[in-house]
Structure 1
């Protein structure tokens, strides 16, 4: 793969990103995952191989045995590498790429993109939850058993009109309802306290100005900063 023999479509099937993006990400992670000169096998564990092992492991549901066999390393090596690379991404790259609007200009841009694409005024993103499967925990396992009948972590995510993540909350067991996750989340706290930049606008003359808000499904509470669809509708009017 690294010698340029593998076609681009094979890169996407194995790593879910293009070869160009792979090496760009590898360069951004260079200071944090470069090979350690004090380790016996540092020559075989280059930063490219570490990133490749991690992405290959994460591309589906993740299999340590399959990943280890594919790259010719031991299972415990895969486990250590995946943890190290994921920590490097979360600590050093997430603040750069994954964040809520920090200025009025950024908020206005998100709102404009959302209105241009979907025709909805003042929305700057969508919010929803998803269940990430996990093995049955040894402690308090009942808390992680969700309504879909498997063990999971309930992950809440906020994305903009282009599908890019702006906020992720992955602290809650699978049995916790989406509304509770939202009410205790960082983004809800920021919205309630007015810490996010706002761009108010009038839609109808003589009525209150509309703040920026998120769009959620019926599982979420209806608040000034979170709008959801009608739970029952008898007409299209």
Structure 2
């Protein structure tokens, strides 16, 4: 009865004073709409809430203080850092917490995401490979492709140990990150541990990915890589000097299909500016920079899996961290035979 009377009075007097709604300014989920949340934090509201629930035990801080930092605020602070690459002092001022607290938040949340990486960054099973091959084939007609492989450089500050090893061919300090993606730009494998001076072929030769292909632990299919990689029966590279029409058609299809990995890096760095040169450089040690890279790759896959649109400020989806590298020069194996059979069969 009271509710009906109140509604009657409101209809008769629309200018009646309304009760103020107080929102928690320490929790952006309380006062931002869905579009602003994706723009500022890159993930949709339901994904952020899910991360808060999954990492509640890891991020909840037992303290005798009256106001411990809520898990939701910690998640939002870390996501804002990934999205912008802002200095920790600036993030602290925006969210009204201290710079040391921001540092601990980023470190703890990064650890949580790295532990989550086997769930989100993994090579396909036999059932998944069929769909992946179909997706790659739809791009340019290249058959039996289960992944595109490439490397990208993540700028970091000058490290205190072995500084010269991190200077890449463009003369700045970086880590060289190897990744394999599918046709939907999801990362299926990522190796983030090598200094910027390391050649792509060396990273592959010393990775678990190569061992998995060599022992047949991955479904049959090919990786596509550029001329910086060795030609293998499971890794196809372009023909360096094509002389026939089939070889030219092969190269054209190969380049268009392999371009997905460059687009993956471009979308990753556009969405999470902490890895992009527009955000400066990662002001961390190489070890922590590698962990941040893996954590951001997990978030990237979450966005792809949930169909999260790229925010309007992420207009450039090219890989700005890619560096031209010399072609691989090494022993020839039966990868040449596999490639020639494909050229003379599919592209003739």
Q: TM-score, normalised by structure 1?
A: 0.85
Number of the residue aligned with 2:53:
27
1:160 maps to which of 157, 175, 182: 182
* Matches of 1:75 and 1:215, distance apart in 2: 44
* Matches of 1:219 and 1:88, distance apart in 2: 34
Higher helix share: 2
CA 1:135/1:39 → structure 2, altered by over 3 Å: closer, same or farther?
farther
| Structure 1 residue matching 2:152: 3-state secondary structure | strand
Number of the residue aligned with 2:99:
75
User: Within 5 Å, which residues of 2 pair with 1:41-80?
Assistant: 43-80=67-104
Q: TM-score, normalised by structure 2?
A: 0.59
Q: Based on CA coordinates, which of the two structures has the bigger radius of gyration?
A: 2
Number of the residue aligned with 1:170:
192
Number of the residue aligned with 1:203:
none
Number of the residue aligned with 1:220:
229
Q: Is the 2:37–2:45 Cα contact (8 Å) retained in structure 1? A: yes
Number of the residue aligned with 1:16:
42
Question: Aligned-pair RMSD on alpha carbons?
Answer: 1.9
* Matches of 1:158 and 1:50, distance apart in 2: 30
5+ long unaligned stretches in structure 1: 199-211
The reply to whether residue 144 of structure 1 matches residue 166 of structure 2 is: yes
5+ long unaligned stretches in structure 2: 1-27, 250-348
- CA deviations 1:5-53 (Å, max 9, x no partner) are 32333222211222233223333333332x2233536x44111111111
* Matches of 2:202 and 2:86, distance apart in 1: 29
Higher relative contact order, structure no. (Cα contacts within 8 Å, ≥ 6 residues apart): 2
Structure 1 stretches of at least 4 aligned residues deviating more than 4 Å after TM superposition:
none
CA 1:133/1:62 → structure 2, altered by over 3 Å: closer, same or farther?
farther
CA 1:149/1:62 → structure 2, altered by over 3 Å: closer, same or farther?
farther
- CA deviations 1:39-91 (Å, max 9, x no partner) are 536x4411111111111111133421221111111111111111111111111
